[in-house]
Amino acid sequence: MSYPDPRYFADTGEVSATFRPAGAEPEITFASGGTCSLLSTSDTSGGLYGLYRWDFAAAPSGPGTHFHKTMSEAFFVLKGAVRLFNGEKWVEATPGDYLFVPPGGLHAFRNESGEPASMLLMFAPGAPRENYFRGLVEGMQNTMGEAFFLEHDQYNVKD
């Protein structure tokens, strides 16, 4: 495997970095009390990836088993305990644990510890997952049903 084709063609660099301070307020708050911070969206990364900080409240929450056809997903636990499903079994993940799921890979995540937890979610290539997360808050999955999930490359599997 080699480096990808260039995406920048000038002979000198440019000032184009973005900075988000640790104290920035999360953009999305879920009914469970958990939040999602939009660290890098597909727009801000030029479609390369999406990076989100997922902060769970103490209440149990998380999606059931699903897969994506267009993107990979990665999880990195920052704080607390998060149950991660790798397609075969559930693993109790703690700070520093990491799970990579390629396109088509079955996976799920949940906080069932009764304590707050936090993790990073990364999608590559970038997809507008923030629209999916906002749709969950707005109840779009209830009004649109399966069409909402398919629009967002979310293929849910009956557990």
Q: Domain boundaries in the chain?
A: 28-156
Fold of 28-156: Jelly Rolls (2.60.120)
Asked if pLDDT for residue 141 goes beyond 90, the answer is no
Q: Which amino acid is at 11?
A: D
* The three-state (H, E, C) secondary structure of 60-72, written as one string: CECCCCEECCCCE
Average pLDDT estimate for 27-34: 94
**Mean pLDDT, residues 53-82 taken together:** 96
Is it the case that residue 159 has pLDDT exceeding 80? no
Give buried/exposed letters for 62-72 (b at 16+ CB in 10 A, else e): beeebbbeebb
- In tens, the pLDDT along 81-140 reads 999 999 999 999 999 999 999 999 999 999 999 999 999 999 999 999 999 999 999 988
Confidence (pTM): 0.92
Say if residue 158's pLDDT is above 90.
no
pLDDT of residue 35: 97
Residue 4: DSSP 8-state: P
